[in-house]
């Protein structure tokens, strides 16, 4: 029985761990843009890919700290469970369109 559970955990792990940049873009536009005030391109281009990766380590602790300080009106939302669920997708969105990515999002 334990072997079966382990096999199922490993088989399903990749599906639960994947994030989606398109979903992150939607989340950014719906939930963060009203607080931050800049469009998706301006947001993602604020940092390089490696910086975004650092900001979203350890449950997005650095991101939450920086953007809560920069935009105090967003602090409550950034500390919420809902934001933590969205964070992997927002991270993928930010990294896909980071300053050093060469790509531009189609959101305003």
**Three-state DSSP state, 56:** coil
Residue-wise pLDDT for 66-100, tens only, equals 999 999 999 999 999 999 999 999 999 999 999 99
Rounded to 10 deg, the angle between the 81-96 and 57-70 helix axes is: 90
Q: Give the contacts of 84 (CB within 8 A, at least 6 positions apart).
A: 59, 60
- Model pTM score: 0.79
Residue-wise pLDDT for 14-62, tens only, equals 444 578 999 999 999 999 999 999 999 999 999 999 999 999 999 999 9
């Amino acid at each position: 029985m334990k072997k079966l559970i382990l096999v199922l955990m490993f088989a399903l792990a990749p599906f639960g761990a994947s994030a989606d940049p398109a979903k992150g873009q939607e989340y950014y536009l719906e939930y963060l843009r009203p607080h931050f005030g800049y469009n998706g391109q301006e947001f993602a281009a604020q940092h390089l890919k490696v910086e975004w990766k650092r900001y979203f380590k350890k449950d997005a602790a650095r991101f939450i700290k920086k953007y809560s300080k920069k935009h105090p009106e967003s602090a409550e939302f950034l500390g919420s469970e809902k934001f933590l669920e969205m964070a992997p997708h927002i991270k993928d969105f930010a990294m896909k369109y980071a300053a050093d990515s060469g790509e531009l999002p189609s959101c305003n």
